[in-house]
Amino acid sequence: MSKVLIIDDDKFIVRIVSDRLIKEGFKVTAAMDSVSGLNAVYESTPDIILLDVVLPGGKNGTEICRLLHNDTRTSHVPIIMLTSRRETNDIVSGLEAGADDYMTKPFDTMELVARIKTHLRRAKHEKSFNPLTGLPGNVLIEEQIKTKVKDPSVPFAVLYLDLDNFKAYNDAYGFLKGDEVIKLLAHIVEQCIRELGNRDDFVGHIGGDDFIAVTTPDKVDILCPRLITQFDSTIPLFYSLEDRKKGYIVTYDRQDNEVKYPLVSLSIAVVTNEKRQLTTHWQVAEVASELKRFAKTLPGSNYVKDRRTR
């Protein structure tokens, strides 16, 4: 059930809109001024906000909109401005402050409901993709694997890709350079799947330096060596010339002891339903995590396939 927060001091509007939204299956809360409105936002982050422009309490709707838009805790929440002001300048001010939509009073509640549903769909879609790489995130990854395990007669392979020594690289070179390495891996995986995989293969970004690719078992021994070759040949370019020549970086632990870390490498865990039936996405994730732990104990870049029959 999606949560709608109405911030408006017009009791009649609040009642009419609330009644209609509740009938449509939404959970509705309301606030009558800017102070209680902001408190309601931070106490229980709504899925969408209907925000009046003229409000008592010290801040107007445009100021609240700008505040929420610039706050990482709430910047993802769609905001529809509700106002009796029809001047273009007021509409432009609201949109520039970060509002996603604008409706002038009086408005048709049917149209308001339609716009709310549209913005909620869009927000859900955007949340399903990783903001750094633009690849499908956890929601779509889970849906993809659930679809695969439904039909045991159709062979599939899940590649779980993870970087080794990445934290040390991040600590030494900073998170911005680390983000570039993550984007490099995303590019390599997409390119290899596009060139060597099947037309309907899937690539997803779990988060951080963890990626998923879903293909067929016959492609595993073609894709994995290419992924490793492409990554290993490119990653040295993300190091300084000095570290590249040494083949490692030097960092210090909490006791100020010198620690040497090899260049970042790639571990790939491969889970397939060739030899045993996989019935849930949780089972796939569990096997992949176990294989990944083993792959990371091996030196350099490697891929490990699940060969068990049960």
Q: What is the pLDDT along the chain (310 residues), one digit of tens a residue?
A: 899 999 999 999 999 999 999 999 999 999 999 999 999 998 888 999 999 988 888 898 889 999 998 886 788 899 999 887 666 676 777 788 888 998 888 889 999 999 999 999 888 777 788 888 989 988 889 989 999 999 888 999 999 999 999 999 999 999 999 999 999 999 999 999 999 999 999 999 999 999 999 999 999 999 999 999 999 999 999 999 999 999 999 887 778 888 899 999 999 999 999 888 898 999 999 999 999 999 999 999 999 998 876 6
**How many Cβ atoms from other residues are within 10 Å of residue 265's Cβ?**
21
Q: Count how many Cα atoms sit within 13 Å of the Cα of residue 204 in the half-sphere of its side chain.
A: 20
Tell the residue number behind the tokens 């010290």, with chain if given. 58
Cα distances (Å, whole numbers) of residue 226 to 127, 147, 219, 305 = 31, 27, 11, 16
Report yes or no: 108 and 16 within 8 Å, Cβ to Cβ: no
Domains and CATH numbers, the chain: 3-127 (3.40.50.2300), 138-305 (3.30.70.270)
**What per-residue confidence (pLDDT) applies to 72?**
67
Give strand pairing partners of 252. 258
**What per-residue confidence (pLDDT) applies to 88?**
66
**What per-residue confidence (pLDDT) applies to 309?**
67
- CA atoms of 155 and 161, how far apart (whole Å): 20
Instruction: Please name the helix (run of DSSP H) or strand (run of DSSP E) that holds residue 33, with its range, or none.
Output: none
Cα distances (Å, whole numbers) of residue 192 to 134, 158, 189, 196, 222 = 17, 15, 5, 6, 10
Report yes or no: 284 and 245 within 8 Å, Cβ to Cβ: no
**What per-residue confidence (pLDDT) applies to 241?**
95
166, 172, 152, 146: which is closest to 242 by C-alpha? Answer: 172
